[in-house]
Structure 1
Amino acid sequence: MREEISNWLRQSEEDLDKARILFENKKFDGVAFNCHQSVEKSLKALYMLKFNQGEKGHSIIHLASKLSVPQEMLSRVRDLNPEYLVSRYPDIAGGVPADNYDEEIAMRHFKVAKEVLEWVKKQMQK
């Protein structure tokens, strides 16, 4: 595997670990953002492997569609997609982003990010 691809994958793992640490500290908005980052970076790693080029942008729906993510996983990715912005910006969140998240939402996003990372790793072994 090319170094740039393994770098994207490793950073995806680091972002997921940050999400775990933030979850333990009840910083649920940070969990949402880092889960989005983990999914984005793992999908970009797979995209580079499959298409031999990078992909710009932050839409994990776009990446997941291009990579033929299973339909049931794609619906969960759709739920996570807005978190790139909503989890960080008060004007987009309609208030303080931190106030919009709880343990249930954070755990749902964490499970999706973990699922996508595991799926990407399996795809890379094919």
Structure 2
Amino acid sequence: MKVDSQSFEDWLAKADNDLKAAEAILAYYEDPPTDTICYHCHQVAEKTLKAFLVKAVGEIPKTHDLIELLNLCGQIKTQISDLREEVETLNKYYIEAKYPPDQPIICPTEEAKTAIEQAVYLSKFIKDLIKD
């Protein structure tokens, strides 16, 4: 899908909002809905990777698969491939956290905290590349 290359900032703003939501949910609740936190962390990664593609090539694929997005970004800047561990972890939270599963999702609070840390790291990494 072709997009205006300047709209990468809009994608980053949306990603930042997802990160704020994840952090706020974790801070607000004594027993937070960790699946929702992890879903927002997936969204941070997806929107940040798409922002990079918008800035670099002016188009994005219609996918929510973070591994596919990482591979596309890695073809443009190879160091993005260093995010594979974070992407593989966050990728599982899209479908599993968005819809009621056949098996209950067990996502301890520590896992949600790790997801936030990974989303923060990925976001900063990509934003630093976009600045260059």
TM-score by length of 1: 0.88
Does the aligned pair in 2 maintain the 1:47–1:55 contact within 8 Å? no
CA distance in 2, matches of 1:91, 1:20: 24
Matched, 1:101 2:107: yes
Count of residue pairs the alignment pairs up: 121
- How far the C-alpha of 1:54 sits from its partner, in A, is 2.1
Structure 1 residue runs of 4 or more that deviate by more than 3 Å after TM superposition: none
The counterpart of 2:57, out of the listed 45, 48, 51, is: 51
For structure 1, list consecutive stretches of 5 or more residues without a partner in the other structure. Answer: none
Equivalence for 2:81 = 70
CA deviation vs aligned residue, 1:63-105 (integer Å, no higher than 9, x gap) = 112212233x21221011010011132335x12x4xx111111
- How far the C-alpha of 1:3 sits from its partner, in A, is 4.2
For structure 2, list consecutive stretches of 5 or more residues without a partner in the other structure. Answer: 75-79
Report the more deviating stretch, 35-44 or 19-28.
19-28
Does the aligned pair in 1 maintain the 2:6–2:55 contact within 8 Å? no
The counterpart of 1:88, out of the listed 95, 98, 122, is: 98
CA distance in 1, matches of 2:99, 2:131: 37
TM-score by length of 2: 0.84
CA distance in 1, matches of 2:18, 2:8: 15
